[in-house]
Amino acid sequence: MLIVMDRTATQADVEGVVAAVERMGLRAHPIPGVQRTAIGITGNRGVVEPTALENLPGVLEVIKVSHPYKLVSREFHPDDTVVSIGGVPVGGTRVVLVAGPCAVETFERTVAIAVAVKARGAHLLRGGAFKPRTSPYSFQGHGEEGLRMLAAAREASGLPVVTEVLDTGAVDLVARYADCLQIGARNMQNFELLKAVGKTGKPVLLKRGMAATLEEFLLAAEYVLNEGNPNVVLCERGVRTFSDFTRNTLDLAVIPAVERISHLPILADPSHGTGRRHKVAPMSRAAVAAGADGLVIEVHDRPEEALSDGPQALTPDAFGDLVSQLGPIAAAVGRSL
Amino acid sequence: MLIVMDRTATQADVEGVVAAVERMGLRAHPIPGVQRTAIGITGNRGVVEPTALENLPGVLEVIKVSHPYKLVSREFHPDDTVVSIGGVPVGGTRVVLVAGPCAVETFERTVAIAVAVKARGAHLLRGGAFKPRTSPYSFQGHGEEGLRMLAAAREASGLPVVTEVLDTGAVDLVARYADCLQIGARNMQNFELLKAVGKTGKPVLLKRGMAATLEEFLLAAEYVLNEGNPNVVLCERGVRTFSDFTRNTLDLAVIPAVERISHLPILADPSHGTGRRHKVAPMSRAAVAAGADGLVIEVHDRPEEALSDGPQALTPDAFGDLVSQLGPIAAAVGRSL
Amino acid sequence: MLIVMDRTATQADVEGVVAAVERMGLRAHPIPGVQRTAIGITGNRGVVEPTALENLPGVLEVIKVSHPYKLVSREFHPDDTVVSIGGVPVGGTRVVLVAGPCAVETFERTVAIAVAVKARGAHLLRGGAFKPRTSPYSFQGHGEEGLRMLAAAREASGLPVVTEVLDTGAVDLVARYADCLQIGARNMQNFELLKAVGKTGKPVLLKRGMAATLEEFLLAAEYVLNEGNPNVVLCERGVRTFSDFTRNTLDLAVIPAVERISHLPILADPSHGTGRRHKVAPMSRAAVAAGADGLVIEVHDRPEEALSDGPQALTPDAFGDLVSQLGPIAAAVGRSL
Amino acid sequence: MLIVMDRTATQADVEGVVAAVERMGLRAHPIPGVQRTAIGITGNRGVVEPTALENLPGVLEVIKVSHPYKLVSREFHPDDTVVSIGGVPVGGTRVVLVAGPCAVETFERTVAIAVAVKARGAHLLRGGAFKPRTSPYSFQGHGEEGLRMLAAAREASGLPVVTEVLDTGAVDLVARYADCLQIGARNMQNFELLKAVGKTGKPVLLKRGMAATLEEFLLAAEYVLNEGNPNVVLCERGVRTFSDFTRNTLDLAVIPAVERISHLPILADPSHGTGRRHKVAPMSRAAVAAGADGLVIEVHDRPEEALSDGPQALTPDAFGDLVSQLGPIAAAVGRSL
């Protein structure tokens, strides 16, 4: 924390700030400058938020310096974390491909898609049984029946299953079926849900919220780690901006940013990140080139009939074509598929 | 829905789209133009999302025309809704003032603040017992003990209580104490929670999510109404933009926008919407001048000691000064405090 | 400037940063903390940008502390600036109303609108002779002929004229006709143009760019003041965000923000800021309630025939109604119309 | 254009809209639906903007359908445009590398950097003689002397020169020295400047504005083409969003979006797009993988001494390393360096 004093601040103002800081159990370090004084603050963070200082006389601005995350930070854990999802390592040298339908629809179709994506190179199966839908009138998923479809598809294909959980009340149920619990973008700051999936110890795929800063994203992961669960995989899926030719703006620079300050693996989801089928392949290639630890891609055998997000799903063959493009790019960044 | 064809689209392309539309049980209305053909689509919305059409040959663009909300819409319910919170009408001619601390801290302090804001013109008491905090290391609220503090403050002051509920598992508990259940910005698209508060029939204060479009905001309210609960009060509390001199950007134009297309009342929260004490009064005045049905304002007797969001809280006396400024502005727009 | 060191940084890393800072002619003040060291930097700003320090070994982050603006700052000039535009004071106790068509179209119509808005309370006439249009196929304004129309309207109505200049090559021409030179949002960082209008000494109405932070906005004004021209009036006209129910998002909190850190007057433009006629009156009232020094409002006698921005223009009578609503709001904030 | 009528609109309202449309010389095509009527509008675009229709009785919404750009559109010009800059083709199978310092500083250093980047694979030299700087107190470039430095560097290295022009008054001067005129992000909607560079016939590198939608970006290019100059190269350099870990948010999805609707080549500028050296290489790889026709990269022999944007510049050797990473990625998308 740094307090910047107004250039007209008096010596008494500076002393007032120092006294207030010390009453909080922190240490104040005044730095007199040519035009103004700044006051550095050190000490452990307490319950009181020192931003309250900005209303003291003579204070121009309060600048936060340290970040509140710890467990997710590379400073505290220098080596890369590798999360095992049903035996598939995420965060190692292999680029992981998570593929499947947006929502699971029938046993037959779910199995068929799982087998098809497995045959074309997928390592994990995705699919929603509980769907967060913007409108109450849209298809909301098949619930537990959908989880059974995913289990059948795992059985048939051998692919471990990643599926979303929407509510604390359903965490135990979903955890019985899934190999990895997905927290969707809309729930990134549903802190009770983060604590609940943290307590399961299961791998968690945490999607970035549509308006989340990097610090907020990492703090959401911190909630899970703070429950004793280190198995968090981050996922960039696009943020909300003015840019209107895609459904969201895929912020790929978050990949090297996370790599620099956190030890957690990070995937990209170009399907939700663009919302348009013809942009999925270019942005998938881009994400791998930027260093993503894997991709989450929607695949549907008949996208035009999909009950959810059809326009962004690839066919299994288009997915296969994409996989063949990704191999040389993974190799160019020292990885493999 | 409107399909815009590429100018090089053939007659066969147009016929292909018409056939696909009709297979969905909808009607297609081709509109031949000078440079290209457009195809209007009518019929009830089915389960299939017609945006899947955008991958058909010859299609340039698919433009959504109708909005999926119904119950919240002024088209379906022309008269203004007035929601009664513990006997206080919200949405009528009176501008409602909801005031209190960000988080409730002690019995004594909560009662004192409630009595103080009541004396200065508040109509409802706000205060958090369950707090959604970005960091797991920040104060998370006193839980049920906090709800008891709010009940004591209601007893002492006569002010009905608005307080946040974070999770479906706590809805019954919070509903036993509160006069109005608040859904915070981070939970605006926590659809299971929206359904759960819908089922209680209690008044709901629904805050706009930080990245929510107006359509998404109204659809979140639609989830509550769709459970048979018409008692929804909307609240603008700032959205996330690049603009960095406030914590969020208070998007006051949403007030006339909501008034035009929805019958629900809408409040503004200038405390969270700015995050800076010295901007609370100007933006409170602005919200009332823009036509807000009320304000949500954080008041704390010792802001510099607040356990949460101290920098944006007003003292009771500053709140009183603000109330005296608001009277003539309310009168200028044909309302009273 | 504050350098935050990594917690694993060595003493040698810290000394390396100190040495680099001193080579730049600045002073370094190390602040050892519990977990890491921070280094405060003081001294006059030189040509070298010290952000280059962030690539030195052991540096975690570089945080900018001081703002580069001076002349526009209230720290350097504590009293409010009042700019006289053709004898009309902007920035004093009176709320100034600038009204007129988006583009000037004919002599007759321009004069008629000027007389009509004057009769209903306007203090200044706005109107574009040179129009910045997103498409090359849209009406681009009448150029010098348009300036003559404005001069005729000034003659007829007595209202001083505010009009936009788009290019350095036209500054002298526009300055011969106008009482105040407007710099539009798209040119807020056209630095050559800012210098050129600075050299004229004429009052300048500087609109905030669609993606401008407050610091960038003030630095644009600093360019004008730095040429010896103190007559700058700022204007908020909406910024670009994801929020899609208005053309731009009117960021009214910039009004108290500017008031706190700058001595320059600031207006609001609810016509461009919303792009929708029915939102102009509510947002005009809100801007005055927030403390704006005035409003810029588009008025056209036949909006549906306007050559530019018709959907947002008020009729003269609607403008008159708005003026009558604004009086009591101005009074409530201690001002008059 | 599509007019959506309110569901309570009467037949007379519909007829009123039809009549208004026809008075504009356009044709109206009513489409009666289950709940409401929509009215398609066809005909050539006139001077009047039909959005004025949205204030007619019974109109709920007006939806723009056609885009105003023509010459830049792939509909009008199906084949890719290849622009020759001093003999180097941009937009063909080769991925073009534009490298050099942010600002040119001295003859010696400019020549040395040019020779160094040429030796490591650059095809074009970039460098600013006129610099648009946010603050009037920052280094503004060496002007014509800087242009001479660039000419000397071209002479020494054989690399054609790309350099920015800030103002119509300097177009002729810059065009005498440069092989390609750059329009910076801040000037993307400086329409007079766009017309002026259009008239030169010289290749133009047009950077996307920080708040520019894709339509606005293409319309800026349309201004240049409309002057008879088809030699436009687009460049994505990051847009402004809430995301704060990079200076701007590099919106790489614009690359496949442009490729789909325009025939113009598009480059990416990861230096400005991230503002951080350690993100330049990952985002460069990502841009090529997404299909960019080339990259613009800042290279400086002593970044920590650079007079402008030092923190984002690569050393020549780091640039060389990056080039060697890019080769296999270019090959993976069917291109070469």
State which amino acid sits at residue D246: T
To the nearest whole Å, the CA of B66 is away from the closest chain D CA by 8
Q: Do A125 and A239 fall into the same domain?
A: yes
Q: What is the 3-class SS of D23-82, one letter each residue?
A: HCCCEEEEEECCCCEEEEEECCCCCCCHHHHHHCCCEEEEECCCCCCCCCECCCCCCCCC
- pLDDT for the residue C46: 46
Burial of D32 (0-12, 13-18, 19+ CB in 10 A): middle
Whether the CB-CB separation of A234 and A257 falls below 8 Å is answered with: no
Query: Cα B19 to the chain's mean position, in Å?
Result: 41
Whether the CB-CB separation of C86 and C80 falls below 8 Å is answered with: no
Residue A32 within a domain:
yes
- Read off the pLDDT of residues B270-287 as tens digits, 9 standing for 90 and up: 999 998 889 999 999 999
Q: Do D115 and D8 fall into the same domain?
A: no
Residue D289 within a domain:
yes
Of B55-64, B315-324, D95-104, give the lowest mean pLDDT range: B55-64
Query: Which residues in chain B are closer than 8 Å to A64, comparing Cβ atoms?
Result: none
Query: Which residues in chain A are closer than 8 Å to C4, comparing Cβ atoms?
Result: 65-66
Chain B residue with CA closest to A165: the answer is B192
Closest among B127, D325, D281, B233 to A255, alpha carbons compared:
D281
- pLDDT for the residue C50: 59
- pLDDT for the residue A306: 78
- pLDDT for the residue C47: 41
Whether the CB-CB separation of A153 and A145 falls below 8 Å is answered with: no
Q: Do C180 and C305 fall into the same domain?
A: yes
**Distances in whole angstroms, Cα of residue C66 to Cα of each of A7, A37, B244, D230, D328:** 11, 11, 15, 45, 44
Torsion on CA atoms A216, A217, A221, A226, rounded to nearest 10:
-10
**Distances in whole angstroms, Cα of residue B277 to Cα of each of A67, B7, B328:** 23, 56, 22
For helices C107-119 and C144-157, the axis angle rounded to 10 degrees is 40
Closest among D238, D180, D175 to D204, alpha carbons compared:
D180
- Cα(B76)–Cα(A198) distance, integer angstroms: 44
CATH number at residue C37: 3.30.70.1140
- Cα(D22)–Cα(D30) distance, integer angstroms: 13
For residue B235, give both structure tokens: 């609240």
- Cα(D146)–Cα(D106) distance, integer angstroms: 8
Q: Are the Cβ atoms of C332 and B333 closer than 8 angstroms?
A: no
CB neighbours of D224 closer than 8 A, spacing ≥ 6? D194, D195, D197, D198, D204, D206, D232
- Mutate which of B21, B49, B76, B298 to disrupt the A interface (most A C-beta within 10 Å)? B49
Whether the CB-CB separation of C231 and C202 falls below 8 Å is answered with: yes
Torsion on CA atoms D13, D15, D20, D25, rounded to nearest 10:
160
Burial of C116 (0-12, 13-18, 19+ CB in 10 A): buried
- pLDDT for the residue B34: 72
**Residue A288's domain spans which residues?**
83-332
D135 C-beta neighbours (distance < 10 Å), count: 21
- Cα(B166)–Cα(B177) distance, integer angstroms: 15
For residue C285, give both structure tokens: 């009232």
Chain D residue with CA closest to B76: the answer is D7
Residue A91 within a domain:
yes
Within chain A, residue ranges assigned H as helices are 11-23, 107-119, 144-157, 171-177, 191-200, 214-225, 254-261, 270-274, 277-290, 316-332
Q: Do D132 and D258 fall into the same domain?
A: yes
Whether the CB-CB separation of A73 and B332 falls below 8 Å is answered with: no
Q: Are the Cβ atoms of B44 and D34 closer than 8 angstroms?
A: yes
pLDDT (average), residues B134-161? 96
Report helix, strand or coil for D11: helix
Which segments of chain C have a pLDDT < 70?
A: 44-52
Residue B68 within a domain:
no
Whether the CB-CB separation of C275 and C233 falls below 8 Å is answered with: no
Q: Are the Cβ atoms of B243 and C246 closer than 8 angstroms?
A: no
Return the sign of the alpha-carbon dihedral for residues D119, D125, D129, D132: negative
- Cα(A168)–Cα(B166) distance, integer angstroms: 11
D30 C-beta neighbours (distance < 10 Å), count: 17
Residue D73 within a domain:
no
Whether the CB-CB separation of B210 and B238 falls below 8 Å is answered with: yes
Does the pLDDT value for residue D87 go beyond 90?
yes
To the nearest whole Å, the CA of C113 is away from the closest chain D CA by 19
pLDDT (average), residues D51-73? 81
Q: Do A59 and A109 fall into the same domain?
A: no
Q: Do D54 and D110 fall into the same domain?
A: no
DSSP one-letter string for A267-318: EE-HHHHH--HHHHHHHHHHHHHHT-SEEEEEB-SSGGG-SS-GGGPBPHHH
- Beta-strand relationship, C180-183 and C204-207: parallel
Whether the CB-CB separation of B330 and B95 falls below 8 Å is answered with: yes
Residue A41 within a domain:
yes
Residue D69 within a domain:
no
B309 pLDDT band (50/70/90 cuts)?
confident
**pTM of the full predicted structure?**
0.93
- Cα(B287)–Cα(D258) distance, integer angstroms: 41
Q: What is the 3-class SS of chain C, one letter each residue?
A: CEEEECCCCCHHHHHHHHHHHHHCCCEEEEEECCCCEEEEEECCCCCCCHHHHHHCCCEEEEECCCCCCCCCECCCCCCCCCEEECCEEECCCECEEEEECCECCCHHHHHHHHHHHHHCCCCEEECECCCCCCCCCCCCCCCHHHHHHHHHHHHHHCCCEEEECCCHHHHHHHHHHCCEEEECHHHCCCHHHHHHHHHHCCCEEEECCCCCCHHHHHHHHHHHHCCCCCCEEEEECCECCCCCCCCCECCCCHHHHHHHHECCCEEECHHHHHCCHHHHHHHHHHHHHHCCCEEEEEECCCHHHCCCCHHHCECHHHHHHHHHHHHHHHHHCCCEC
Report helix, strand or coil for A125: strand
- pLDDT for the residue B44: 59
- pLDDT for the residue D138: 87
- pLDDT for the residue A62: 80
Chain D residue with CA closest to A327: the answer is D332
Sequential pLDDT tens for chain A (337 residues): 788 888 888 999 999 989 988 888 888 888 887 778 888 887 755 444 556 787 788 888 787 777 889 999 998 899 999 999 999 999 999 999 999 999 999 999 999 999 999 999 999 999 999 999 999 988 899 999 999 999 999 999 999 999 999 999 999 999 999 999 999 999 999 999 999 999 999 999 999 999 999 999 999 999 999 999 999 999 999 999 999 999 999 999 999 999 999 999 999 999 999 988 899 999 999 999 999 999 999 999 988 777 777 778 999 999 999 999 999 999 999 999 9
Does the pLDDT value for residue D34 go beyond 90?
no
Q: Do C222 and C322 fall into the same domain?
A: yes
Q: Do C34 and C87 fall into the same domain?
A: no
- Beta-strand relationship, C232-236 and C266-268: parallel
Closest among C244, C193, C240 to C213, alpha carbons compared:
C240
Q: Quick one: residue B167, left, alpha or beta (phi over 0 = left, psi -120 to 50 = alpha)?
A: beta
To the nearest whole Å, the CA of C142 is away from the closest chain A CA by 32
Q: Do B175 and B264 fall into the same domain?
A: yes
Q: Are the Cβ atoms of C134 and D52 closer than 8 angstroms?
A: no
Per the structure, how many domains does chain A have? 2
For residue C313, give both structure tokens: 């223009």
φ, ψ of residue D216 in degrees (nearest 5): -65, -35
Q: Do C21 and C57 fall into the same domain?
A: yes
Q: Are the Cβ atoms of D286 and A282 closer than 8 angstroms?
A: no
Q: Do C251 and C149 fall into the same domain?
A: yes
- pLDDT for the residue A191: 97
Q: Which of D52, D303, D310 sits opposite C303 (nearest CB)?
A: D52
Q: Quick one: residue A313, left, alpha or beta (phi over 0 = left, psi -120 to 50 = alpha)?
A: beta
Residue C70 within a domain:
no
CATH number at residue A257: 3.20.20.70
Residues of C with CB under 8 A from a CB of B: 211, 213-214, 239, 241-246, 249-257, 260, 273-274, 278-279, 282-283, 285-291, 325, 328-329, 331-333
Q: Do A155 and A286 fall into the same domain?
A: yes
- Cα(D289)–Cα(D304) distance, integer angstroms: 30
For residue D70, give both structure tokens: 């023509």
Subunits adjacent to chain D (3 or more Cβ pairs under 8 Å): A, B, C
- Cα(A177)–Cα(A173) distance, integer angstroms: 7
DSSP state of A9: -
- Read off the pLDDT of residues B38-83 as tens digits, 9 standing for 90 and up: 888 877 554 445 567 777 888 887 877 778 899 999 988 999 999 9
pLDDT (average), residues B99-116? 96
